[in-house]
Amino acid sequence: MTAAELTDHIEQAHRNLRGGGARAAVFGVSDGLVSNAALLLGIDGAHPGAATLRMAGIAGLLAGAFSMAAGEYVSMRAQTELLERELELERRELLHRPVAEHAELSLIYERRGISRPVAAELASAMMDTPEHALATHAREELGIDPEDLGSPWTAATASFVAFAVGAAIPLAGFSSFTSQAAQVAALVLTVAAACALGITLSVMTAAPWWRGALRQLALCGLALSVSFVIGSLIGTGHVG
């Protein structure tokens, strides 16, 4: 691997982490897993028919996935438009107030520990090319990369898929078996998936794998327990 390729690889990895793509994917799967498992177990506690339970699971998967996708699209679109507006304002400042922008960039470098002459020289080099000047000011002042503002459609699609994958796990258990066996299968699949998600997060953050697994399992278990108890109370006529 050449130096240029290595630099590009490192920069791409940092952009992925800053963009939150991996975090959003894990969150989407976790959200789908916990919400649909809690929905299914809550309804199962009321002892409905198998067909009703499966339809509820499918409805929960689709409703949640579309909701996640729509929310991600709207938030990402708003963020992108806001960043584009900020970039346009910065572009106008560079066009109409180049001296002030040069001084501003030089001061930023000075605050980072660079001597004044070197900071001024560096700022001049960055200001020589309009594209470089805009990209530099955007990164230094706004903390954004003009070439990596994100895609609302990509984010929405990823959220839809991630949620659907998570929601399909407990649904698979209830769709493959009947009666108590389905409940056990769904629980086993959900517990295994929760542990896997916790371990994945631990690997990403270099934390102990068992800590991530236990944390994810505890949160998932709490949601499932509460949902099942409420569903059971409703089913026996104690609530509602």
Six token digits for residue 176: 């493959």
In a domain, 143, yes or no: yes
Domain that includes residue 160, residue range: 26-231
For the chain, how many structural domains are there in total?
A: 1
Report how far residue 127's alpha carbon sits from residue 102's, in angstroms, rounded to the nearest whole number: 7
In a domain, 16, yes or no: no
pLDDT tens for 184-237 read: 888 899 999 999 998 988 887 788 889 989 999 999 999 988 988 888 888 665
In a domain, 21, yes or no: no
Least confident of 53-57, 65-69, 199-203: 199-203
Q: How confident is the model at residue 22 (pLDDT cuts 50, 70, 90)?
A: low
Long-range own/partner contacts, residues 147-155 (CB < 8 A, 24 or more apart): 148/15, 148/19, 149/80, 149/83, 149/84, 150/19, 150/76, 150/79, 150/80, 151/76, 152/72, 152/73, 152/74, 152/76, 152/77, 152/80, 153/73, 155/24, 155/72, 155/73, 155/76
In a domain, 13, yes or no: no
In a domain, 7, yes or no: no
In a domain, 182, yes or no: yes
In a domain, 134, yes or no: yes
Six token digits for residue 4: 């240029």
Residue where the block lists tokens 């409905």:
48
pLDDT tens for 71-101 read: 989 988 998 898 888 888 888 888 888 888 8
Q: How confident is the model at residue 173 (pLDDT cuts 50, 70, 90)?
A: confident
Residue where the block lists tokens 């903390």:
143
Q: How confident is the model at residue 238 (pLDDT cuts 50, 70, 90)?
A: low
Q: How many residues does the chain have?
A: 240
In a domain, 77, yes or no: yes
pTM for this prediction: 0.75
